[in-house]
Amino acid sequence: MILVDTNVLVAAGRAADTNHDAAARLLETVDEPLLVPPTVLAEACYLLGEWGGPQAEVRFLRDFRPDGLQLTELTTADVARMAELAERYADLRLGGTDASLVALAERLGIQRIATFDRRHFTVVRPAHVSAFTLLPEGTR
């Protein structure tokens, strides 16, 4: 399983994005569940709607299907962990969406996150592994 961050979804949905090719290639070639938390879903809908219009948002939402993106749930314990992470990494301005990815990764035992956000995810130290594996590899 791989958790997917907003920036990968937005890049895949916007041909003008500098990371479009890498994001689209990643999402098309991964042969395992791609999990999206509700925080990322909401953020991606907003950004795609703003930058790409209603059709970009609709195309994204249609990617949630049995052989596509999978919505995962946040628990009350996850939200409490998000608050801990946001407080601990306040200087980094981690924020709720990125904290939700970390909290879910910890609870579900996931090590890999699809993100272009190397700033946050190389600094944050998850409780279950020494560091996350960030995809796509080789991006900065």
Give the rounded percent of residues in the chain with a pLDDT score beyond 90: 91
**Does 27 fall in a domain?**
yes
Beta bridge partners of 113: 3, 134
- pLDDT at position 139: 57
**Does 90 fall in a domain?**
no
Residues 91-98: what's their mean pLDDT?
Answer: 95
Res 140 pLDDT > 70: no
Res 59 pLDDT > 70: yes
The number of domains in the chain is 1
| Mean pLDDT of the residues in the chain | 94
DSSP-derived pairing of the beta strands 34-36 and 2-4: parallel
Rg (CA), the chain: 14
CATH number, position 23: 3.40.50
Domain that residue 43 falls in: 2-73+110-135
Residues 108-113: what's their mean pLDDT?
Answer: 97
**Does 126 fall in a domain?**
yes
Residues 91-96: what's their mean pLDDT?
Answer: 94
Write the CA distances from 86 to 33, 48, 73, 83, 103, integer angstroms: 27, 25, 19, 5, 11
Residues 93-103: what's their mean pLDDT?
Answer: 96
Give the rounded percent of residues in the chain with a pLDDT score beyond 70: 98
**Does 82 fall in a domain?**
no
**Whole-angstrom distance, CA of residue 13 vs CA of residue 10:** 5
